[in-house]
Amino acid sequence: MMLFRSVRNADLDSVFQLAEQSGIGMTTLPKNKELLKARIQWSTESYQKNEENPLDEYYLFVLEDQKTKKIVGTSAIEAKTGHNTPFYSYKISKRTRVCHSLNIRSEYEVLSLVNDNQGHAEICTLFLNPEYRRDNNGLLLSKARFLFMAQHPKRFAPIVIAEMRGISDENGQSPFWNNIGNHFFQMPFVEADRLTLATNKQFIADLMPRNPIYIKLLSPEAQAVIGKPHQSTVPAMSILLNEGFRFSNYVDIFDAGPTIESPLKEINTVKLSQVLTVRSISDEVSSTDYLLANTQMDFRATINFALINNEDNSCIVSKNTAELLEIKRGDTLRVSPLRLEEKPSI
């Protein structure tokens, strides 16, 4: 079985190993142990807070293989972006010009630097060891976050965004960056990406062009990647689109990866989840696979069978599930369908 749980300080080395595997463009999973240590500490402090008003909290999770005790994936939620540092995006806008005397109509798109997504919750830091991209592990790593948000909705802003990694190659060459950012920042894409996390982002305000950028004037290579996800990010984006996220005409300022969004309460896993009382714990349970999570701040989730009785809002789970989630008879469990065509009932 696989366990999705809150990160611990002792996970630093394992998370650092994942960061080194993640390639270029994973801004929130830096290949710097000190930065990762600070993010894990930030997460630990966020879990310990009692108030339920989102400020600058960050919740980092890991996926652990119970057979080997190996950390094989990470994902996270930022409660409210832009609290301490500005959150920049490019907004894609359409403009029209008409010359009646010549009977010419011109339509084109521009990129404008904005802070429109500031103040939203953000799901981020998703990376799964390639060897484990099977057996619903990607679904657990992505969707279990929504059970945590469903259990603690007041801790998060009401709109949730996800900045999907944009297109760059294994050498860190980004067509969009090479055509725009490189002219103004005079540094490689990889260095600009690193500074986004390591600084207060003032360099963006200082160096980024303030006037709109006309997309038609960019190279065909740069135009082609605007709003397109990195190949390795396509499966993660598909999961989110199936959850109800939609492209919002905003892209990342460095690699032009798409930003997608959804109201928290409209995310399908959140809408379909329900809190049930554990009526019984059995040696074996055979039924449909569900996303299952405890209802504690020491968050733990997995995928396994559960027998659900909607008449009395109760369920029966296996001993393995109970041990993994650290629950007992009479405790509560948050349950949601693993796949959205399924309904959490028997």
Distance of alpha carbon 309 from alpha carbon 54, whole angstroms: 34
Q: Is 208 helix (H, G, I), strand (E, B) or coil?
A: coil
Q: Per residue in 173-205, pLDDT tens? A: 899 999 999 999 888 888 888 888 777 788 888
Q: How far apart are the first and last CA of the chain?
A: 23
What pLDDT is attached to residue 343?
45
- Over 50: is that where the pLDDT of 345 sits? no
Q: Per residue in 232-265, pLDDT tens? A: 899 999 999 999 999 999 999 999 999 999 999 9
**Surface-to-core class of residue 283, CB atoms within 10 Å of its CB (0-12 exposed, 13-18 middle, 19+ buried):** exposed
- Known catalytic residues are 230
Q: What is the mean pLDDT of residues 64-91?
A: 94
Q: What is the mean pLDDT of residues 77-105?
A: 94
Name the least confident of 10-24, 82-96, 192-206, 269-283.
192-206
Instruction: DSSP letter for 153, please.
Output: G
Name the least confident of 60-74, 247-261, 268-282, 332-346.
332-346
Comparing C-alpha atoms, which of 12, 31, 11, 13 is closest to residue 22?
31
- Over 60: is that where the pLDDT of 344 sits? no
- Over 70: is that where the pLDDT of 341 sits? no
Q: What is the mean pLDDT of residues 290-295?
A: 97
Residue 243: CA atoms inside 13 Å, Cβ hemisphere, count? 34
- Give 306's strand partners: none
Instruction: DSSP letter for 251, please.
Output: E
Pairing mode of beta strands 274-282, 314-318:
parallel
> Is the whole model's pTM more than 0.95, yes or no?
no
Distance of alpha carbon 90 from alpha carbon 245, whole angstroms: 18
Q: What is the mean pLDDT of residues 80-104?
A: 93
- Over 60: is that where the pLDDT of 87 sits? yes
- Over 50: is that where the pLDDT of 342 sits? no
**Residue 143 contacts residue 293 (beta carbons within 8 Å):** no
Q: Which alpha helices (H) appear in 81-233, and where do they start and end?
A: 137-151, 175-179, 181-185, 189-198, 202-207, 220-225
Q: What is the mean pLDDT of residues 83-91?
A: 91
Q: Is 91 helix (H, G, I), strand (E, B) or coil?
A: strand
Q: Per residue in 49-59, pLDDT tens? A: 987 789 999 99
| Tokens (6 digits) for 229 | 């996800």
As a whole number, the mean pLDDT across the chain is 92
Q: How far is CA 285 from CA 77, 289, 340, in A?
A: 32, 10, 21
Side chain identity, residue 260: I
Q: What is the mean pLDDT of residues 64-70?
A: 96
- Residue of 195 and 146 predicted with greater confidence: 146
Name the least confident of 18-32, 279-293, 330-344.
330-344
Domains of the chain: 2-89+115-268 (3.40.630.30), 273-337 (2.40.40.20)
Cα dihedral 66→69→75→77 (10° resolution): 90
Distance of alpha carbon 291 from alpha carbon 245, whole angstroms: 19
- Give 65's strand partners: 2, 70
**Surface-to-core class of residue 140, CB atoms within 10 Å of its CB (0-12 exposed, 13-18 middle, 19+ buried):** buried
What pLDDT is attached to residue 346?
37
State the pLDDT confidence band at 339, using cuts at 50, 70 and 90: confident
